Amino acid sequence: MASYRNVLRDGLAAVGIAAKDKAGALEAAAGLLAAGAGLDKGRLLVAVAAREKLSSTGIGEGVAIPHALMEGVAATTMAVARLAEPVDFDAEDGGPVDLVFMIAGPRSDTGGHLKLLSKLARTLHDPEFRKAAREAPDGPALARLIYDRD
């Protein structure tokens, strides 16, 4: 199973990200992921938006895991954005989202992508983890919380 340390590279976790709505949250997370992983932000946004049209990736409890499999992505990579203010995300529970975990992976690694999604969902199901993630003072501290769940 993918190690969080392998998919969440340095600099890909940030707190206090400004977004007015779901589109803004996706754009901010895509910008973070694209810059840190050398991806094209526009292509990433198109791929994530296509996935969102199938159903919202807002899984409840203030968390969303937008994700996409794309051509030209060498390895699965994740960015984590804690929003300054929660936004409506059409989440399963109807609640707003403030923790966005965006994942991009190569089309050839569907199995690895699904395993990471499953692992992440289990991590995010823990209310103590979510509380700690919301209290992390900065991106590196947020990343360390995630790494500690490997």
Q: What is the 3-state secondary structure (H, E, C) of 5-74?
A: HHHCCCCCEEEEECCCCHHHHHHHHHHHHHHHHCCCHHHHHHHHHHHHHHCCCEEECCEECCEEEECCCC
Q: What are the pLDDT digits (tens) for 59-107? A: 999 999 999 999 989 999 999 999 999 999 999 999 999 999 999 999 9
Domains in the chain, number: 1
pLDDT in tens, 17-73: 999 999 999 999 999 999 988 999 999 999 999 999 999 999 999 999 999 999 989
DSSP string, 74-137: -S-EEEEEEEEEEE----TTS--EEEEEEEEEEGGGHHHHHHHHHHHHHHHH-HHHHHHHHH-S
Catalytic residue, candidates 67, 69, 116, 124: 67
What's the CATH number where 120 sits? 3.40.930.10
The boundaries of the domain holding residue 98 are: 4-147
**Rounded-to-integer distance, Cα 27 and Cα 20, Å:** 11
Catalytic site includes residue 67: yes
Which letter does DSSP use for residue 138 in this model? S
